[in-house]
Amino acid sequence: LVGNQSLISMDFGDDISVTSAGSFSRALCDTSSVNSTYLSNHTIQELWHCGAFDFIDIDEDIVQYLRLNKAHPQYAARCKILMNHAHLDMTPLLQWELKCLPLAV
């Protein structure tokens, strides 16, 4: 799924296991490094489960990433980086009223 730029919907069929949910979450947002987060999938917007578009029993992180991908695809990578890498020093960007954020992230 890394590098995907066209697939926006996936159907997991009748069941999604804890293992596959964890893998899917990492594909949507790999938090192991800032670069990995940037290279994660920001295109998939819908997850179908049991023939329906629902989020019952789906990890809240997955739901959040899918909604972010759908609502703000042009900013999804930047938002995921800021949400998951709190160690980034935002002070210089805040001094410039975030005008440099697109260049820094």
Residue-wise pLDDT for 7-61, tens only, equals 888 777 666 665 667 788 888 999 998 888 888 888 888 877 665 555 556 778 8
Torsion angles phi and psi, residue 40, rounded to 5: -65, 170
Cα angle 96-90-94, degrees, rounded to a multiple of 5: 25
Note the pLDDT of residue 25: 85
Note the pLDDT of residue 93: 59
Quote the CA–CA distance of 96 and 24 in Å, as a whole number.
36
On the question of pLDDT at 73 being above 60, the answer is yes
List, in sequence order, every beta strand (DSSP E) within 16-85: 46-48
Note the pLDDT of residue 71: 93
Q: Which of 25-29, 89-93, 95-99 has the highest mean pLDDT?
A: 25-29
CB atoms within 10 A of CB 20: 11
Note the pLDDT of residue 65: 92
